[in-house]
Amino acid sequence: MKIAFFDAKPYDRDSFDSVAKQYGVEFKYFETKLYEDTVDLAQGYDGVCVFVNDTVNAYVIDRLYEMGVKIVALRCAGFNNVDMKYAYGKVHVLRVPAYSPYAVAEHAMALLLTSIRRIHKAYIRSRDFNFSLSGLTGFDLHGKTVGVIGTGKIGKVFASICNGFGMKVLAYDKFPDKALAEGGNVEYVELSELFEKSDIISLHCPLSDETYHIIDDKVIESCKKGVVLINTSRGALVDAEALLEGIKSRKVGAACLDVYEEESDLFFEDNSGHILDDDVLARLISMPNVIVTSHQAFLTREALQNIAETTVQNIAEMLMKNKCPNELCYRFGETKDCKDGKCFD
């Protein structure tokens, strides 16, 4: 089984090579991302393995189909970069639905603590033997209200971490979790109430047409003054220009961003020798109360190992049994788990 692995990084090779052999899967690693200009590299392979910023649009799907490449193995949970409707009946789309919700939720909390306790500033100061505390005043998390949007695997872990800090947790989810609500530590509310009452807002829902720019200028206007926004989910959940305006007007107290709307050409790469063309990102990064990490929340040893194991198992299972429990399909007019392999003949 030969798989073309796109957007390969050294840490991917380490974890994937450690499991590939035992399942008889052979990877050819390409540093380039998958998109229209590179899809032909997949010629002669059984499948492609892709990550969050590879492009699997109609053109790419058509070329894969023409070349007889039947599998698109996502080594991530989100699938907003795949045209699922178009993929139906042409390629099997497999994903890793869960690999470590702790990795992402803990990173969200790490960003929050760094930001509000000014650790990023203190670190730089003390390296320069500047031990002044002026300007480093933070605030207690204990007693504050956090609004969690999306209470799936990651949102639940984040909520529980916040409970541990003595915070009040408000939540919004399109499909609220009854057991979570009954547990008494999380209160589901309407989105408008969450925005109005939260001191901190953390996004853990997927990106879809419905959630695109779920944080825009009107929402920011309705939030508490000084609200802290955390986005470890997908960049386009937040209108970055509106966020910048919110920061400039002092309405937004701080922003912790692991993802950014236009990240695909920038994140995961060393751009330190280049002029940044994206003025919004450059201005955000220049703000003392904005922390940006480059889609790093998943990056723990445990998560990488789980990603590699599940991705390789998915590929092996699909090639041997023609079905896989982690297949996604658009059979019924929306993207769902497809456990019977019937979205492809």
Of 153, 199, 219, 227, the one binding ligand NAI by CB under 6 A: 153
Nearest to ligand NAI of 1, 237 (CB atom): 237
Nearest to ligand NAI of 42, 329 (CB atom): 329
Q: Which of 75, 95, 106, 263 is catalytic?
A: 263
How many chain residues touch ligand NAI (CB under 6 A)? 30
Contact 312, 3 (CB under 8 A): no
Of 2, 9, 21, 174, the one binding ligand NAI by CB under 6 A: 174
Beta-bridge mates of residue 27? 3
Contact 238, 215 (CB under 8 A): yes
Is 317 marked active-site? no
Is 234 marked active-site? yes
Between residue 214 and residue 273, which ones bind ligand NAI under the rule CB under 6 A? 232-234, 258-259
- Calpha distance 11→244 (Å, rounded): 33
Rule CB under 6 A: is residue 204 a binding residue for ligand NAI?
A: yes
Helix (H) or strand (E) holding 247: helix 240-248
In three-state secondary structure terms, 66 is helix
Query: Given phi > 0 = left and psi -120 to 50 = alpha, else beta, which region is 76?
Result: beta
Is 106 marked active-site? no
Work out how close the CB of 214 gets to ligand NAI at its nearest, in angstroms, rounded to a whole number: 7
Work out how close the CB of 102 gets to ligand NAI at its nearest, in angstroms, rounded to a whole number: 11
Of 104, 167, 223, 315, the one binding ligand NAI by CB under 6 A: 104
Using the contact rule CB under 6 A, the part of the chain among 8-16, 168-176, 242-250, 318-326 near ligand NAI is 168-176
Rule CB under 6 A: is residue 162 a binding residue for ligand NAI?
A: no
Contact 231, 257 (CB under 8 A): yes
Work out how close the CB of 98 gets to ligand NAI at its nearest, in angstroms, rounded to a whole number: 6
Q: Which of 75, 107, 204, 234 is catalytic?
A: 234
Rule CB under 6 A: is residue 173 a binding residue for ligand NAI?
A: yes
- Calpha distance 130→332 (Å, rounded): 61
Nearest to ligand NAI of 206, 253 (CB atom): 206
What percent of the residues of the chain are helix, what percent strand, and what percent coil, each to the nearest 5?
40, 15, 45
Which candidate, 255, 30, 188, 204, places its Cα nearest to that of 101? 204
Rule CB under 6 A: is residue 179 a binding residue for ligand NAI?
A: no
Between residue 60 and residue 89, which ones bind ligand NAI under the rule CB under 6 A? 77-78
Between residue 275 and residue 304, which ones bind ligand NAI under the rule CB under 6 A? 295, 297-298
- Calpha distance 69→85 (Å, rounded): 18
Report CA torsion sign: 232, 234, 237, 240. positive
Of 47, 147, 206, 246, the one binding ligand NAI by CB under 6 A: 206
Q: Which of 92, 295, 317, 327 is catalytic?
A: 295
Distances 320 to 2, 61, 317, 341 between C-alpha atoms, Å: 13, 22, 5, 12
Distances 132 to 117, 123, 306, 326 between C-alpha atoms, Å: 14, 12, 43, 53
Positions marked catalytic: 234, 263, 295
List interacting residues with ligand NAI (CB under 6 A).
77-78, 98, 101, 104, 149-155, 172-175, 204-207, 210-211, 232-234, 258-259, 295, 297-298
